[in-house]
Each structure stands twice: as C-alpha cells, then as structure tokens.
Amino acid sequence: AQSVTQPDIHITVSEGASLELRCNYSYGATPYLFWYVQSPGQGLQLLLKYFSGDTLVQGIKGFEAEFKRSQSSFNLRKPSVHWSDAAEYFCAVDPGYSTLTFGKGTMLLVSP
Amino acid sequence: DADVTQTPRNRITKTGKRIMLECSQTKGHDRMYWYRQDPGLGLRLIYYSFDVKDINKGEISDGYSVSRQAQAKFSLSLESAIPNQTALYFCATSTGVSNQPQHFGDGTRLSIL
C-alpha cells in the first residue's frame, strides 16, 4: 500500500543547532513531494515542494529538502534552528492524482 | 482576509446531532478538500471535489457527507455525530494542476460529547 513515514514523533534540538527531519515514502513512481509546517492553532503552511529536476530544493524560512530516489526519501533540513521553528512538521506526497497523503508528523521542540 | 475560511472555528456538540462545517475560498481554485487531523495520525482525507459537479470519497468518508454549493464553497456534514469524530478539521484548495500545493484554512476544532 502507498504510505508516507515520518519515523520521529518528537525531536528536540538546541537553538542554533542543525536540524534534519526524515520522510520516507512508498509509491511505485516518484510522487510530488511536499513539506508543511503547522504552528499551534494554525493551519498548514507550505515550506517547500519537489516535482522534478534539482534534487535539492529551497523553501521558506531557511529550510531545504533533498530528494533521494534510491532511498525513497525527502528529508527536511535547516542549518540553524530558531526558537520560532518549534512546530509540527508534515511530509506529504501526491502520486499524481491531486490528492495528498500525509505522514503522521514530527513535533519539533527547540531548547534554549 | 484569509484566502480559505472555515466556519465555525470551534464547535462543541452532543452525540447524535447533525453538524455542518463550512469552507469558502477566494483563491479561485477549482479543487477543494476536507481533512481531519487526530493527534499522532496526521491528516487524513475525507472527501474532495475537483469541480462543482464532482465529489469523491477519500480515505475515511464513512459518517460524513459533503456538498459543493459553488466553486468557492464546500461544506462537510456529520449526519449523526459520534464522539470518535472529535478532531480538528481542515479545508484545503488547489488549482487544477496536480503538482501545485494545497492551501489550507485555519481549521475547525470539533468536540462531540
């Protein structure tokens, strides 16, 4: 069955440290890939997306993600985390049907 | 003003009641979606609509129905609410191009007692 896996339910990172959030998908072909962020009480905001081409994509707020076909992964990274990055992060895939399947999310906590 | 507006933002109701959640958008998008979010489960698709005459079931449509009243309006109904439908509900929209992202409203928090 098609699926999206975010293996880390919670991650705690010190402010200023680097961050990597993992996402793996299981689809027959390369889907369209997205990362969204949800701050408390808010809807989902798009951070970045991958459709084709360069496998390293840049997003808003200093985030980037790298698509690795061989690993079926689309991991989100940030070189230096700020306290305002504390939120829940969702990886999502669209296999081409214009519908999204979401991972279960990773809650990012930022320590002083 | 928000591009995707959900009403109400919060609702508390009793088991067995009929509930309607409304979504309107000013983005001019053809496609609209309803999701529910439960802690630890992420977002799951309930129903989606690619245009006014098109309605499709998502992953978890049982117990729900929808109405696409116009291009800009998409309502979700719970015919007879039950406690396990307590969740955060999101509406989203997108253009007709499949590789374009979805845009989300701020959600409706629904509690069923």
- Please compute, for residue A109, the number of CA atoms within 13 A of its CA located in the half-sphere on the CB side: 6
Model pLDDT, residue A1? 65
Q: Say yes or no to pLDDT of A99 above 90.
A: no
Cβ distance of B106 and A96 shorter than 8 Å: no
**Please, which residues 54-83 of chain B have a Cβ atom closer than 8 Å to chain A?**
58
For residue A52, the model assigns a pLDDT of: 84
The answer to whether the bond into A7 is cis (omega within 30° of 0) is no
Cβ atoms < 10 Å from Cβ of A72: 16
Give DSSP secondary structure letters for A6-55.
---SEEEEETTS-EEE--EEE-SS--EEEEEEE-TT--EEEEEEE-SS-S
d(CA B10, CA A99): 26
| Band of pLDDT at residue A31, cut at 50, 70 and 90 | confident
Residue contact A100–B44, C-beta within 8 A:
no
Query: Which stretches of chain B drop beneath a pLDDT of 50?
Result: none
Taking one residue from A and the other from B, the number of pairs with CB-CB distance under 8 angstroms is: 55
